[in-house]
Chains A and B, each alone.
Chain A
Amino acid sequence: MVSLLSDVAIIGVGWYGFSPVTLEASFREMAFEAAVSAYEDAGDLDPRKDIDAFVTCEEDYWAGISITDEFMPDQLGGVLKPVYTVAGDGLQGIASAYMKIKTGLFDTVVVEAHSKASDILTFHEIMNFGFDPLYTSHIDAHPYYLAGLEANYYMLTSGVGREHLAMIVEKNKRNAITNPLASYGSKLSVDEILEAKYVVYPLSVMDIAPLIDVAIVFVLATKDKAKKLSDNPIWIEGVGWATETNYIETRNFGEALYARIAADMAYRLAGIEDPKKQIDLAEIDDKFSYKELMHVEALKLSNRYSSHLDLERGEFNRNGPLPVNPGGGFIGIGHGLEAGGLIKLLEATLQLRGEAVGRQVKGVKRCVVQSWRDIPTATGAVVVLSNEEV
């Protein structure tokens, strides 16, 4: 694999929603509003002329429409242009756009993902429909049993206690209070969090990130275009994504191998050898509280089975040496289906631009962003960003 740093930049971001319910707009209208903002932010681009390709990230069953990509070109300005869907998380869409720019054929590529989770009346039933129909569909339980199994295994092997999960919740909900985009910020003590009701032992309602509606649009460009169009390009130094296995029986519980493989790829492209030293801020997938700890280890930001000790020392706090989810994470902001990765990417981009109102961390130069595709997958992606051109 060969790569040059600073080949691909984020030059525009736009969003709509960040709200538990958005009754005023359809998902198409939400995406239009996000796109208008992103194109303006990218230096007043006209997508009918200035954009070479469009990527949308979505899944049919989240939309309730078969072949849901039919409904995407109009509101992005992509009619009769190269538009396609990645059936995956927003960060996989970013990776796809990154590759296209790297071919030399495309100058500007748009990535969109949205969540209209409030339209879904049977979220967990649909989630269950993602399990293997032959091997696991006989288990007639809430799909979060899989998170419970994994959390139990991880806690047993790592020495993590429920109080550590509560500390993650406490940190992320507190960080969210000052983030204007966050819906679920609150000040709660670890003891209060530990009193919450279990959903699947050892996880309580507090340990599970709630859903929001959101549409997010990113504009990516080559270095030449970025320098022409943008005062504050954010460079994508590395991307990585991986699927461990769909068979839940053979997964390496407690290790988040998908995140490790994806991070290794992204770090290699970004030339990062010592992530702990070279990364200033991490946006880590916390759809479940314990996942933040597992993912921090998979990304080599803590040693194996010691992330909870770093947590205890406050290292991941907003004012700590390695802030993790300083904007509140999914637990504080809410998570948005396939837009999840873009929620995290947006947080990191705003931090690197110095525009993270209410949650700005000082002196951030390089961020790592990571997402996981939720139950029942073992798939995730990683992006490394920097505000310094190399």
Chain B
Amino acid sequence: MKMNINLKNRVAIVGAGLTLFRRRLKETPKELAWAAAKMALESAGLELSDVDAVVIGTAPDAFDGIHMKGEYLADGSGGTGKPVMRVYVGGGTGVFTPIAGWWHVASGLFDVVLAVAEEKMSPAMPHPQSVFAHIWDPIIERPIGPNLIWIFALEMHRYMYKYNIKKEDIARVSVKNKRNALDHPAAQLGAKITVEDVLNSEMLVYPVQRLDISPVSDGAAAVVMVSEHIARRITDSPVWVEGVGWSLDTVHWTGRDLAYPKYVECAARMAYKMAGITNPAREIDVAEVYDPFDYKELHHMEGLMLARKGEAPILTREGITERDGDLPINPSGGLLGVGNPIAAAGMMKVTEIYWQLRGEAGKRQVKKPVYTGLAQAWGDLMQVGTVIVLRAG
């Protein structure tokens, strides 16, 4: 792969939209996609007729209960009569959708692309967890009867064991993110809680407790991505896509180093190389790091090389990752606070960096001036990292 000197076209994000994130929303998946897409277009001052192509991101079909969910969502996402493509990397899809949007524009094929992510987990019966039963190898893993929380607990416990990390240091992430979410208008679980609350919450799969986990949610998010000449015409403050990266590890997760997300490192290296970033801890001003579980924020900070291995809990304990800290992580409130409609949650992280870099995050705006931000997601069988680096124009 080559350096960014070979890139032919720059791509900017010029609009963003979100719906509420809630346990259950009355709207259909199509209506949610439409609400987010409409808000994104309006904020960019563009109309549907300006859109050349649509990229859709959504995770398992079984949540919404529709085979070929991308086809179903096409209309609500503004894709009627247009080139529409759905991309899919499990939980990493939300950040991957604008990455795919990037190459639609950077290829020179399209000028205006709408990237829409939607997830409606509430329809799945008897519980969305039953959908996760089908993510395993059907022959050699599914017969054991695995629960999704098992694998994360296995990974979390290995991480704690290897670096001798205390549960209370991990719980601080949940406390921080739920507090940050109090200022997010989409948030499902913004709350003032303490480390003790997390440690006293229901034990599900040791070491995972109820308040370590993001909720099940419905929601949608969207961004508008345009070529440089359109961006210059319609806005004074475009947010440029400077780096994209993604990486998928082997499906045989039981043979991997569970204490370190190598796949996130590979994805980050790809994005940093493209963005010309050599010292991420110094050059990234604000980051939205994937946090479906509290330990995951720490794990991913290390994979992104924002913290040294085993040291993300120390940065968290010292308050460096708070909104007024030196390296604010998840100022939105993350998945733990805002909610986790899978693909939409990843895209929510991209919208947060977009608003942070434009100085439009209101009470969530981080204290220090920010020019370069990062959003990251993760998914499949603890296997994929997706990274996007954005810069203020």
Within 8 A of A (CB), among B98-123: 100, 103-104, 106-111
Distance in angstroms from B346 CB to nearest chain A CB is 13
The listed residue (B1, B2, B66, B82) touching A130 by CB distance below 8 A is B66
Report whether B247 and A82 are in contact in the complex, using a CB–CB cutoff of 8 Å.
yes
Given A3-B108, A100-B107, A105-B6, A244-B81 contact (CB < 8 Å): yes
Whether a CB of chain B sits under 8 angstroms from the CB of A188 is no
Report whether B81 and A64 are in contact in the complex, using a CB–CB cutoff of 8 Å.
no
Of A67-75, A163-171, A342-350, the one with at least 4 CB within 8 A of chain B: A67-75
Within 8 A of B (CB), among A233-254: 240-247
Docked Cα-Cα span, A99 to B380, in Å, equals 25
Map CB proximity to B onto A127-144 as digits: 1 under 8 Å, 0 otherwise: 101101110000000000
Whether a CB of chain A sits under 8 angstroms from the CB of B150 is no
Report whether B250 and A245 are in contact in the complex, using a CB–CB cutoff of 8 Å.
no
Q: Which residue of B lies closest to A85 (CB)?
A: B88
Q: Which residue of B lies closest to A26 (CB)?
A: B139
Given A95-B85, A246-B74, A61-B249 contact (CB < 8 Å): no
- Give the residues in chain A near B67, CB-CB below 8 Å: 59-61, 126-127, 129-130
Distance in angstroms from A24 CB to nearest chain B CB is 16
Question: Interface residues of A toward B: which range?
Answer: 35 or more
Report whether A240 and B83 are in contact in the complex, using a CB–CB cutoff of 8 Å.
yes
- Give the residues in chain A near B267, CB-CB below 8 Å: 82
Report whether A377 and B68 are in contact in the complex, using a CB–CB cutoff of 8 Å.
yes
Q: Considering only CB atoms and an 8 Å cut-off, how many residues of chain B contact the other chain?
A: 69
- Give the residues in chain A near B80, CB-CB below 8 Å: 243-245
Whether a CB of chain B sits under 8 angstroms from the CB of A151 is no
Docked Cα-Cα span, A107 to B6, in Å, equals 11
Whether a CB of chain A sits under 8 angstroms from the CB of B79 is yes
Report whether A66 and B71 are in contact in the complex, using a CB–CB cutoff of 8 Å.
no
Of B54-62, B176-184, B218-226, B369-377, the one with at least 4 CB within 8 A of chain A: B54-62
Report whether A83 and B248 are in contact in the complex, using a CB–CB cutoff of 8 Å.
yes
Whether a CB of chain B sits under 8 angstroms from the CB of A86 is yes
Distance in angstroms from A252 CB to nearest chain B CB is 10
Report whether A69 and B380 are in contact in the complex, using a CB–CB cutoff of 8 Å.
yes
Whether a CB of chain A sits under 8 angstroms from the CB of B321 is no
Q: Which residue of B lies closest to A100 (CB)?
A: B103
Of B130-138, B281-289, B308-316, the one with at least 4 CB within 8 A of chain A: B130-138
Instruction: Sample 28 A-B pairs with CB under 8 A, ordered by A number.
Output: A1-B111, A3-B108, A61-B61, A64-B134, A67-B381, A72-B248, A74-B251, A81-B248, A83-B246, A87-B88, A88-B85, A96-B85, A96-B103, A99-B103, A99-B107, A103-B103, A104-B6, A104-B7, A105-B7, A130-B66, A241-B84, A242-B84, A243-B79, A243-B82, A245-B80, A246-B74, A379-B71, A379-B84
- Which A positions have Cβ atoms within 8 angstroms of B? 1-3, 52, 59-61, 64-67, 69-74, 78-88, 92, 95-96, 98-100, 102-107, 126-127, 129-130, 132-134, 240-247, 257, 261-262, 265, 269, 373, 376-377, 379
Top 3 nearest A-B pairs (CB, nearest first) are A102-B107, A99-B107, A83-B248
